[in-house]
Each structure stands twice: as structure tokens, then as C-alpha cells.
């Protein structure tokens, strides 16, 4: 964090100058009076820094921790809690002569028992049915329980005679609570949510508050210059969701729809639709040279260029309506140490607010073409 508080050296110079002006004496480096003043200056500098920090924490741009939470209280918002991962479980029984009801909250786990998942609704296996599926949610919040592969959850914590279980989807959707950096933009934008969802910014703010998996929101009205602009009386909301799992995406869309349909949020005359943003594909193809003067650093520059290409792709995908911009890629590759860069892909492409640019599934590594004078 930058600070406008004076440095200890600046304060010392100011104090010594005032002492000289008041007494006519210049204190030498080893003068006991100067050493005494220096010991006081240390505490004065520390106090001024704390005062400056406390003052800045009254502003959401600089606040963190408890200060940021307190500012959130003033505008009626709080950081979103973490979410638990979800998974689809398939129950199989040996015989189907009677109806079997598996209650909501039935728990399953992996062989190591690291996490528990509980069904979110009761599952009824009718007479003649040997299998049935139910959604289950982890009993702990956070991303640690994500990415357990299909067939990895097979242990019944709550026994069921003659019944086996296995997950038919990988676990996904678990997230941590919002960090200060993630929460701060919502504190700054909170006044947009004070009104009902007539303004664009209000719809986007309320949608973003529905789930920590919502990374970006775009609300479109009938007059917007976008292929997905809705008809009169309709608001179309598009989401950038931090998950590739279809079940998680559907859950987030439901959460946003519910949030935007509250009586205190949605105007009675508005019809609201919510959907995931349309993906626009782009690919990356670059070749580059390294200056002869940097020959000793070729390996390090190659690694930095690869990291810069990955960072560019992450940046390009991180917001809705962000045009595919090869100039940004070139700037990042140069900053990584390349001397000459040729970009074959991507070409500039305009991306609408209802769209998100997404890299192709295969992006080739940057092509190092050698040294040049």
C-alpha cells in the first residue's frame, strides 16, 4: 500500500531544521541532543504512519480486514460465504420388490473419508427400479472437495442394506469465502443496489451478490447494441461463471434468478432472463526472437514468454465483452523479454457484452525462432 505519510528521514530533517532555526545551533551526528531527538522522531514517524493508515481505512479503496467489513455494514453488504461442492450420486440395489426411500441428508464419502456429501432431497426407488440418482452436497465449504473423479465416492456413511453407491459426476462448485480483494468492488458498487433493478448497474450488482462463482455480469435491455438484446419489457442477464460443470452452472443460474426475482429487487413490469454468456473462441499463435545481448537469459525468457501467453489468455477470458486484442498479447510478450514478436493469431475481434472470449482447447506454446542482433 502506498502512503502519503512523511518518511522518518523527512521528519528528522524537518525537526532538525526547526531546532536549528530556533536555537541557531546545528547538531552534529554524534551530538547527544540529536540522538535524543532521533529517538523521539522514530515514535513520531510510527504514530504518523498509523494515523495515515487508519485514515485510509475509512475508504473502501484501501480498507482491508475488519475495516472493510465495517464499511460493508454501512452500505448493507457482506462478503459471500464459501460454497460446498456438489455431485450426482447413483444408488443401486440388488432387488426391487419393495419401494425404497433414501432420505434427504443421506451421507456418502470416499474410501479415505476425507469429506462427506449429503443428499439434498429424498430419493424414492419405486418397485421394479434398481437404480436412481440424487444430488448431494459436501458438508464442508471450500474448493478442497472439488475434482473427485467419477466413481471416487463409493462408501455409505449411513448404511443401507443391499444398496451400493457411486458418483456419476465429478465433484465441483466448492469455493472459499470472498477475499478482501474480491469483496472490495462490491462495497464500492453497493450504492447501485439501493434502488430496485431498473438501472443496469443494479441488476449487475444483485446478480454478482448471488454467488461467489459469478465472476462478471452483463445486463442488457431492449435498446442495447447486442445480438442478444431482448424485447421490450425484458432484461437479459448474462453471467461469467467460475465453473465448467453443468450442474454447478445450473445451480448458479437458479441462484441468480431467485435473487433477481425478489419483490424488493425486481420491478413488477420487468421480465428477467438469466443465462450463461455465449463463448467466442480464439486461438493463439506467436513466434518470437530474443536479442543477442540477452543470450545468457534465453531459458529464463522462454519461460517468461510462456507464462505471459498464459496470463494473456487468462486476462482475455476474465470479463464479459472484452474484445480479443492481439496488442495486449504483444505487449505482454515484449515485457517478458522477447525482442521481436510475430502474431499469427488472434486477430482483433469485437466481443459483445453478452459474450466471453475463450481460448481454444489447444493453445500451442510460443515458437522461439532464435537470436537476432
> What per-residue confidence (pLDDT) applies to 197?
73
The residue that leads in pLDDT, 187 or 361, is 187
> CA 243 to CA 373: how far, in whole Å?
46
Domain boundaries, the chain: 8-74, 86-167, 195-276, 280-372
Residue 2 has pLDDT above 60, yes or no: no
Tell me what percent of the residues of the chain surpass a pLDDT of 70: 98
> CA 368 to CA 248: how far, in whole Å?
40
Residue 364 has pLDDT above 60, yes or no: yes
Residue 81 has pLDDT above 60, yes or no: yes
Query: Of the candidates 332, 263, 329, 282, which has an alpha carbon nearest to the alpha carbon of residue 304?
Result: 332
C-alpha radius of gyration, the chain, whole number: 29
C-alpha cell of residue 41: 522522531
**Res. 5 pLDDT band, cuts 50 70 90:** low
Residue 368 CB contacts under 8 Å (≥ 6 apart), including other chains: 287, 288, 289, 290, 298, 302, 305
Per the prediction, the chain carries an average pLDDT of 91
CA angle 345, 348, 351 (to 5 degrees): 120
C-alpha cell of residue 120: 439434498
**Res. 1 pLDDT band, cuts 50 70 90:** very low
**Res. 271 pLDDT band, cuts 50 70 90:** very high
**Res. 231 pLDDT band, cuts 50 70 90:** very high
Mean predicted confidence (pLDDT) in 166-179: 94
Q: 200-208 and 180-189 are packed helices; what angle lies between their axes, rounded to 10 degrees?
A: 150
> CA 171 to CA 88: how far, in whole Å?
8
Mean predicted confidence (pLDDT) in 106-120: 96
Residue 318 has pLDDT above 50, yes or no: yes
Task: Tell me the CATH number of domain 195-276, given options 1.10.1060, 3.40.50, 3.30.300, 1.20.1070.
Answer: 3.30.300
Residue 185 CB contacts under 8 Å (≥ 6 apart), including other chains: none
Burial of 61 (0-12, 13-18, 19+ CB in 10 A): exposed
- Residue 220 and residue 232 in contact, taking contact as beta carbons nearer than 8 Å: no
Mean predicted confidence (pLDDT) in 213-237: 93
Terminal alpha carbon distance of the chain: 41
> CA 332 to CA 173: how far, in whole Å?
31
> CA 309 to CA 109: how far, in whole Å?
39
> CA 226 to CA 220: how far, in whole Å?
8
CB atoms closer than 10 angstroms to residue 148: 20
- Residue 203 and residue 197 in contact, taking contact as beta carbons nearer than 8 Å: yes
29 phi, psi to nearest 5 deg: -60, -35
Q: 528521514: which residue's cell? A: 9
- pTM > 0.75: no
Percent of residues in the chain assigned helix, strand, coil, to nearest 5: 35, 25, 40
> CA 86 to CA 226: how far, in whole Å?
34
Flag the least confident range among 117-126, 192-201, 299-308, 334-343.
Answer: 192-201
Residue 57 CB contacts under 8 Å (≥ 6 apart), including other chains: 63, 64, 67, 68
> What per-residue confidence (pLDDT) applies to 214?
94
**Res. 265 pLDDT band, cuts 50 70 90:** confident
Mean predicted confidence (pLDDT) in 336-361: 94
How far CA 221 is from CA of 147, 229, 354, in Å, comes to 37, 6, 11
Mean predicted confidence (pLDDT) in 271-287: 95
> What per-residue confidence (pLDDT) applies to 198?
76
Mean predicted confidence (pLDDT) in 164-169: 96
Residue 262 has pLDDT above 60, yes or no: yes
The Cβ-side half-sphere exposure at 328, using a 13 Å CA radius, reads: 18
Residue 3 has pLDDT above 70, yes or no: no
Residue 128 has pLDDT above 50, yes or no: yes
Amino acid at each position: 500500500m502506498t502512503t502519503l505519510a512523511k518518511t522518518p528521514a523527512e521528519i528528522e530533517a524537518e525537526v532538525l531544521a526547526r531546532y536549528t532555526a530556533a536555537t541557531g545551533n546545528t547538531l552534529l551526528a554524534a551530538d547527544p541532543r540529536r540522538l535524543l531527538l532521533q529517538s523521539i522522531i522514530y515514535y513520531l514517524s510510527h504514530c504518523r504512519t498509523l494515523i495515515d493508515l487508519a485514515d485510509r481505512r475509512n475508504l473502501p479503496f484501501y480498507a482491508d480486514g475488519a475495516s472493510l467489513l465495517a464499511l460493508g455494514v454501512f452500505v448493507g453488504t457482506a462478503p459471500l460465504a464459501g460454497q460446498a461442492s456438489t455431485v450426482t450420486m447413483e444408488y443401486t440395489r440388488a432387488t426391487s420388490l419393495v419401494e425404497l426411500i433414501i432420505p434427504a441428508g443421506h451421507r456418502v464419502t470416499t474410501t479415505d473419508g476425507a469429506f462427506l456429501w449429503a443428499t439434498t432431497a429424498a430419493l424414492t426407488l419405486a418397485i421394479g427400479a434398481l437404480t436412481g440418482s440424487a444430488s448431494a452436497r459436501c458438508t464442508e465449504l471450500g474448493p478442497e472437495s472439488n475434482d473427485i473423479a467419477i466413481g471416487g465416492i463409493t462408501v455409505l456413511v449411513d448404511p443401507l442394506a443391499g444398496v451400493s453407491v457411486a458418483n456419476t459426476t465429478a465433484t465441483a462448485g466448492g469455493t472459499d469465502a470472498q477475499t478482501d480483494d474480491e469483496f472490495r468492488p462490491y462495497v464500492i458498487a453497493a450504492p447501485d443496489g439501493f434502488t430496485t433493478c431498473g438501472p443496469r448497474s443494479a441488476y449487475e450488482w444483485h446478480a454478482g451478490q448471488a454467488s461467489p462463482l459469478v465472476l462478471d455480469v452483463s445486463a442488457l435491455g431492449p435498446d442495447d447494441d447486442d445480438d442478444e438484446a431482448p424485447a421490450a419489457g425484458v432484461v437479459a442477464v448474462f453471467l461469467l461463471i467460475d465453473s465448467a460443470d453443468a450442474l454447478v452452472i445450473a445451480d448458479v443460474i437458479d441462484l441468480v434468478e431467485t435473487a433477481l426475482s425478489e419483490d424488493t429487487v425486481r420491478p413488477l413490469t420487468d421480465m428477467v432472463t438469466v443465462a450463461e454468456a455465449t463463448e467466442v473462441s480464439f486461438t493463439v499463435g506467436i513466434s518470437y526472437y530474443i536479442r543477442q545481448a540477452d543470450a545468457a537469459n534465453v531459458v529464463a525468457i522462454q519461460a517468461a514468454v510462456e507464462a505471459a501467453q498464459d496470463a494473456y489468455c487468462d486476462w482475455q477470458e476474465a470479463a464479459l465483452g472484452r474484445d480479443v486484442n492481439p496488442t495486449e498479447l504483444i505487449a505482454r510478450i515484449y515485457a517478458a523479454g522477447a525482442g521481436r514478436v510475430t502474431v499469427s493469431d488472434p486477430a482483433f475481434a469485437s466481443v459483445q457484452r453478452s459474450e466471453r472470449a475463450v481460448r481454444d482447447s489447444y493453445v500451442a506454446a510460443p515458437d522461439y525462432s532464435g537470436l537476432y542482433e
